[in-house]
């Protein structure tokens, strides 16, 4: 996964002008004074590049909505990759007295280990 870099004011203005001041998610104009953000078309967590050709302006609200979907997709991709690589969760915690814990309780209340 690539690291996100900070964009200078000039680069943000160039990206805004190149898109014609239009939100790429809702296709409406971004009005002066309205909150907007730079959106990665292909998220960095899904092998997207942190390059200008992968960035477009979006309304802050539109960007939040897309990002919430992206977070779920990125988490799923990470789980699938871990499964394909055979990585298992570590540190599985068992509830004392459950089947896998090895602890047993007798009727008189004493606890013993199998």
Higher pLDDT, 4 or 7: 7
Domain annotation covers residue 3: no
Q: Quick check: is 2 in a domain?
A: no
Would you say residue 98 lies in a domain? yes
Segments forming the whole domain that contains residue 71: 9-113
Q: Could you report the per-residue pLDDT of 22-61, keeping only the tens digit for each?
A: 999 999 999 999 999 999 999 988 888 889 999 999 999 9
Instruction: Write down the pLDDT at residue 112.
Output: 82
Count how many domains the chain has.
1
> For residue 71, what is the domain's CATH number?
1.10.30
Helix/strand/coil for 36: strand
Q: Does 1 fall in a domain?
A: no
């Amino acid at each position: 996964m690539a690291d996100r870099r900070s964009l200078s004011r000039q680069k943000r203005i160039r990206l805004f002008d190149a898109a014609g001041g239009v939100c790429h998610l809702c296709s409406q104009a971004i009005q002066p004074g309205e909150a907007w953000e730079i959106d990665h078309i292909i998220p960095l967590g899904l092998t997207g590049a942190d390059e200008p050709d992968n960035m477009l302006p979006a309304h802050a609200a539109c960007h939040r909505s897309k990002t919430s979907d992206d977070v779920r997709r990125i988490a799923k991709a990470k789980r699938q990759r871990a499964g394909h690589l055979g990585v298992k969760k570590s540190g599985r915690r068992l509830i004392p007295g459950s089947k896998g814990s090895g602890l047993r309780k007798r009727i008189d209340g004493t606890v013993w280990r199998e």
